[in-house]
Amino acid sequence: MKYHHLGIPTENKLKDEIYLENLKLHVSGYGRNPYGIEWMRFDDDAPCPEIVKTLPHVAFEVDDLMAELEGKKVIIEPNSPSPGVLVAFIEDNGAPVELMQINRDIAEEGI
């Protein structure tokens, strides 16, 4: 497991946002911020738990997402926000944590 990024919820519209329609989420900085920071702006009806909408999360890249989820409190089931990327969120002591499995042969450069 290795650190990937820090996700910070925001209500501010940022100039380089990318809209992920299936998640009703605008992301900014993802893969482009030199410090590994991602800003997330959620639509009011985004299908995410409040803990993800309101608290920052730390994301880790893992080799086997399904194995990492075993025995954990999964709050967002595994899904693919982009080609070659599989993610899920768990809750650990009240904090959201994102786990990511990335196929670098398929995933967009900079992910």
Contacts of 72 (CB under 8 A, 6+ apart): 90, 92
The CATH number of the structural domain formed by 2-102 is 3.10.180.10
Cross-strand pairs, 33: none
Contact by Cβ (8 Å): 8, 37: yes
pLDDT, tens digit, for every residue of 63-102? 999 999 999 999 999 999 889 999 999 999 999 999 999 9
**Percent of the chain residues past pLDDT 70, beyond the cut:** 100
- Does this model's pTM top 0.75? My answer is yes
User: Nearest to residue 73, comparing CAs of 56, 49, 39?
Assistant: 49
Q: Where are the domains of the chain?
A: 2-102
Q: How confident is the model at residue 34, as a pLDDT?
A: 84
Spatial distance between the Cα atoms of 79 and 42, rounded to a whole number of angstroms: 17
